[in-house]
A = this chain, B = another copy of it.
């Protein structure tokens, strides 16, 4: 797991211990519920929701059981109620200010990605070290010098940073982010970041995903040859 372990804490009502695998699926369920709600569905069974989310229904029910008892036996789940409960549990009923560093192709794509704003994330700043890029306006947000990082993080209370720089720059950017007070980093640069205790890092690596597909593809080909 890339994300730091949740350390032991005194139990309070809202601090149940939800397994990492479940946490990673909650956003998938949330998206499925939003789709159902938009289609006018008001109630759904675990079977229906599981199908929409691409998991089996036993896993879905087990996952939801960590949040509480939000369904009705014999009936199913109220789509909007469950949607709210999951959103609250994830923390996306509140607004999360986010900074993106590195405004290349990927940074542009991220800045323009509508899925962020619609899900509780607000891009408050786009930062780039290149002065040439600092005249641009992307997705309605000014590109600003990377050196403004500390000021912006302090003023806006930014906890989450996105790194979309080349690999060579990523560690230095992460260090500055952490020093400025950011405690969660989403890293698109193809490099392993070293960060201190209590800092969560998640990594998205486009070429790694393709390589995993290639591995299975290669085995399919080997299998086909055997069969013929």
Contact = CB atoms under 8 A, between A and B. Distances in A.
Contact of A27 (B89, B115, B160, B211): B211
Given A52-B192, A108-B109, A211 B12 contact: no
A155 interface: no
A3 B216 contact: yes
A110 interface: yes
A113 interface: yes
Contact of A226 (B6, B9, B159, B186): B9
Interface stretch (A116-124, A126-134, A145-153): A116-124
Contacts of A184: 213-214, 216-217
Interface string A82-116: 00000001111010101000001110111011011
How large, as a class, is the contact surface on chain A? 35 or more
A61 interface: no
Interface of A: 2-4, 6-7, 9-10, 12, 14-15, 23-24, 26-28, 30-32, 35, 52-54, 89-92, 94, 96, 98, 104-106, 108-110, 112-113, 115-116, 119-121, 159-160, 162, 183-186, 190-192, 198, 200, 202, 204-220, 222-223, 226
A3 B121 contact: no
